[in-house]
Structure 1
Amino acid sequence: MDLRHLRYFVAIAETGSVTVAAERRLHISQPSLSRQIRDLEEELGVKLFTRGARGVELTVSGHAFLDHARLALLQVDTATEAARRAAQPTKQAFALGFLTGHEMIWLPRVTQVLRDELPNIEVTVSSGYSPDLAEALVSGRLDVAFLRAEPGFDLEYQIVSKEKLIVLMPSDHRLTARTAVNPVELAAETFITATNRAAVLRDVIERYLLENEVDIAPEHGVDNLAMAVSLVASTRGLALMPEYVTNLLPWSVVSRPVQGAAPTINLVIGYSASNSSPVLKLFLSKVEELIATDSAWGSRHSIINLMKA
């Protein structure tokens, strides 16, 4: 008896027909299949099938043999898969998180610095709010995240970029005539700011307004850039938001820089010091290269803007 006999027997038992099993399941001739089953029955010394009006039916011995045959085939398939997995070890997992919108900027750069190792790494990518990313790092659901330096979390942070804040406004707003917006002019407008959910950004905005002696009572609060853009368009308000939001603007919203020194907010990579992932260690060894790609991109971006001016 060999595995072929078991597979042939199970195929006939499940289809109830020698013809169907031969043509549709096993792709062999019917006489050959019948001969193989006769050989199996002779070896076992019992009849496995009887012929009836509806085709072949299992005998009592056939019913008893079927469950064991299925189990034997399942064990063989399991053993085969285990051997294949052993020959091709599972790739190491590496979970990346991004502050929503930053994946468009930073994911290509991460893949660039890890390009030689990517064939051996199973990378997963997610995006979300900064506090949620920090929680995912602490819980081990993420290995590395591009986020804000959230206070209150036992994480390591390293600055990768300083983002300028810019003014968002409706595309037909009077201040679009300015090449840069004086912060004092914000006081006369409906102002949209960040909520406690985006506390790091909110603190940067409040500190900037205080330093410039601009007294504003914000009329709307947002916890993400998409909401900020929507409120600017719908309320005709103004907002101070990180510069990368320009990648997400519809035609109805435009941006302008502020006059003088612009406020900045740090984008950091965060990770847990207790994470022993070798891929994380490799990634951290290439952070300087990653920062260098950002500097190079920033230089190209400045040249493009000058050409457009």
Structure 2
Amino acid sequence: MELRQLRYFVAIVDHGSLSRAARALHVAQPALTQQIRQLEEELGAQLLHRSAQGVVSTDAGKTFHEHAQAILKQVEDARSAVAQSADKPAGTVALGIPQSVSNVLALPMLTAVRTSYPDISLQITEELTGNLTEQLKSGRINLAVLFDDGQLGAFAGAPLVEEDMMFITRAGSRFAPKGRSIALRKAAAVPMILPGLQHGVRPRIESIVRRAGLSLSQVIDINSVAILKSALLADIGATILPVAPMMSEIEHGELQAFPLNGAAISRTVVLCWSRNIPLTNAGNALKNLVMTVSGELCASGRWPGARSLHGA
């Protein structure tokens, strides 16, 4: 198996066509076809379905595509590590950010990188935390913002912030409490709109509810922050989440947030990287920049409900 075969295969999948991949790679299409055939023979599996409309990955091809991307990424990182200098980091760094954090962290990071490290190309991936964990393990991303659920031992990490969670409803909702806060017992009895179990915040909420001797009466699983907001605005339930991803709607008076009485719920946000795959100079520079930016966001109030743990 050769690196060029991996590059060819990834290009074909990404372009969805042998002819388009051949043009992008500046390789004759028959030569490209031959290399993929040799790769399939070596692996003993068909990787692509070919048709007049183009090509799509088989199940085996989808699995191999993930590994091929990770291998090519690590090869590129190795080249960058050798070529770049410590005083002027350069290269590509992939940072994974959960949906519930991207609203507050993504744009400040892009701005900070352009200002501090113009030779670094930052690639931001927004995903569910479960997906980010798998991508970090495989080396497809270099850094990931994750939530400490007690299962981050496979990674090296640095705590970023402690983020409070609140009871959030539509403004004037029938589920809103009469006062300025709500007891966890009453919150648990309301129909809850929550991310799925693969999302880092959900196990944390359910664990605290169980510890209080309670259970959630009804849960609607929604794994999209945008759709979750729409469901809140439609008043089909309430949620328990950090306020950061809802801040725009709260400031415009569309949603309202209430502290929880009796059992404070928070989550620890951690910046993680692989213990087995070394970070390049650019990766280390970005690691430090994420910690600096998150601290500045907390200090300025631009990360609402969050307390910096940098240096903790």
Range of TM-score over shorter length: 0.5 to 0.7
Aligned partner of 2:242 in structure 1 is: 242
TM-score of the superposition, structure 2-length normalised? 0.58
Is 1:289 the counterpart of 2:288? The answer is no
Q: Does the CA contact (< 8 Å) of 1:113 and 1:289 recur in 2?
A: no
Q: Does the CA contact (< 8 Å) of 1:134 and 1:270 recur in 2?
A: no
Structure 1: gaps spanning 5 or more residues: 1-85, 303-309
Counterparts of residues 114-153 of structure 1 (less than 5 Å): 114=113, 117-149=116-148, 151=151
Report deviation, 1:240: 1.0
Aligned length: 214
Give the percent of matched residue pairs that are identical in Structure 1 and Structure 2: 17
Q: Give the counterpart of 1:277 among 254, 268, 280.
A: 280
Q: Does the CA contact (< 8 Å) of 2:143 and 2:287 recur in 1?
A: no
Name the Cα RMSD after superposition.
3.3
Counterparts of residues 1-309 of structure 1 (less than 5 Å): 91-111=90-110, 114=113, 117-149=116-148, 151=151, 154-174=154-174, 175=176, 177-198=178-199, 200-234=200-234, 236-247=236-247, 249=249, 252-260=254-262, 262-273=264-275, 274-286=277-289, 288-298=291-301
TM-score of the superposition, structure 1-length normalised? 0.58
Matches of 1:253 and 1:129, distance apart in 2: 23
1:92–1:172 CA distance, 2 compared to 1 (3 A): same
1:181–1:286 CA distance, 2 compared to 1 (3 A): same
Matches of 1:252 and 1:299, distance apart in 2: 19
Q: Does the CA contact (< 8 Å) of 1:147 and 1:270 recur in 2?
A: yes
Q: Does the CA contact (< 8 Å) of 1:111 and 1:118 recur in 2?
A: no
Matches of 2:256 and 2:134, distance apart in 1: 33
Higher mean alpha-carbon deviation, 148-157 vs 121-130, is at 148-157
Q: Does the CA contact (< 8 Å) of 1:191 and 1:237 recur in 2?
A: yes
1:237–1:110 CA distance, 2 compared to 1 (3 A): same
Matches of 1:219 and 1:131, distance apart in 2: 20
More helix by share: 1
Structure 2: gaps spanning 5 or more residues: 1-82, 84-88, 306-312
> For 1:167, what is the secondary structure of its paired residue?
strand
Query: Which residue identity is paired with 1:266?
Result: T
Q: Which has the larger radius of gyration?
A: 1
Matches of 2:184 and 2:260, distance apart in 1: 7
1:100–1:205 CA distance, 2 compared to 1 (3 A): same
Matches of 1:116 and 1:163, distance apart in 2: 27
> For 2:269, what is the secondary structure of its paired residue?
strand
Matches of 1:300 and 1:152, distance apart in 2: 23
Report deviation, 1:192: 2.9
Q: Does the CA contact (< 8 Å) of 1:149 and 1:270 recur in 2?
A: no
